Amino acid sequence: MTVNVQQDARGVMTVTLDRPDKRNAISEEMMLALVDAFERAGADDSTVRVVLLEGAGEHFCGGADIVARNAGGGEQRPRVGSIQRRLPLQAHRLIPLLCTTQVPVVCGVRGWAAGIGFQLALASDFCIATDDARFWEPFTERGFTPDSGATWLLPRRVGDARARELLLLGRALSGTEAAEWGAIHRAVPAGELDAAVRALVEQLAQGPTVALGLTKWLLHQGEQATLPAQLANEAFALELSSRSEDFREGLAAFGEKRPPHFQGR
């Protein structure tokens, strides 16, 4: 098994890249398994309240497994045009799923997050990393161009000038630097990563799932919407969220001066 997917009674779906001997480099099989997992999370409107994405072992993800893809020679190598055909069904399908799936996605990173590993962290709603983690875009050092949304995600997270430094010069960031640049949510000492991730996941799992999902949708839509269009989006989302059970619970808790107990409905 290269991707493990587990779900508990709290509504937490844990997706683990499980190929530690290869720094969790993502194979084509793993890419399709990740797409399937996030599609299921998005379609499940009753039991999934948050997704935790993590890597087994000492590293989060060393990137896509291009070595295996290009192993061998002659007729065994990919044909011209195969990348253009495959990417829309694999990495270029996966990254938008993380951005648009209407449940929060939390990413925990230790060790390397390179290439698509970096993009998975960027596309998650929250990423907590160890302060000594390494975030790296290796594309130009390998003689090819970025993929998996790197040129879209990075300028929006860190700004154009820093995106150029990462993508054109191949600078690697520590977890501390990635947090300072705004690429990730937070960096913590290695011994505190699991507890920090767990606390955030618990908070989101106990939140108003409908409102959280619609707020995530609004943020994504707002990337390219005009102000009038986004105001219309907000009215639509408010109409939906105000009809949820969690909205009624939130009002009752406010009136009774107690913490709300959201059920994700």
pTM equals 0.89
Predicted local confidence at residue 187, as pLDDT = 98
CATH code for the domain defined by 3-205: 3.90.226.10
Q: How far apart are CA 102 and CA 105, in angstroms?
A: 9
Q: Which two tokens stand for residue 150?
A: 């790197």
Q: Burial, 56: exposed, middle or buried (Cβ in 10 Å; 0-12, 13-18, 19+)?
A: middle
pLDDT tens digits for range 207-222: 999 999 999 999 999 9
pLDDT in tens, 231-244: 999 999 999 999 99
**Residue 75 pLDDT exceeds 90:** no
- Please state, in angstroms and rounded to a whole number, the distance separating the CA atoms of residues 50 and 57: 22
Ranges of each domain in the chain:
3-205, 209-256
- pLDDT tens track for 130-164: 999 999 999 988 888 898 899 999 999 999 999 99
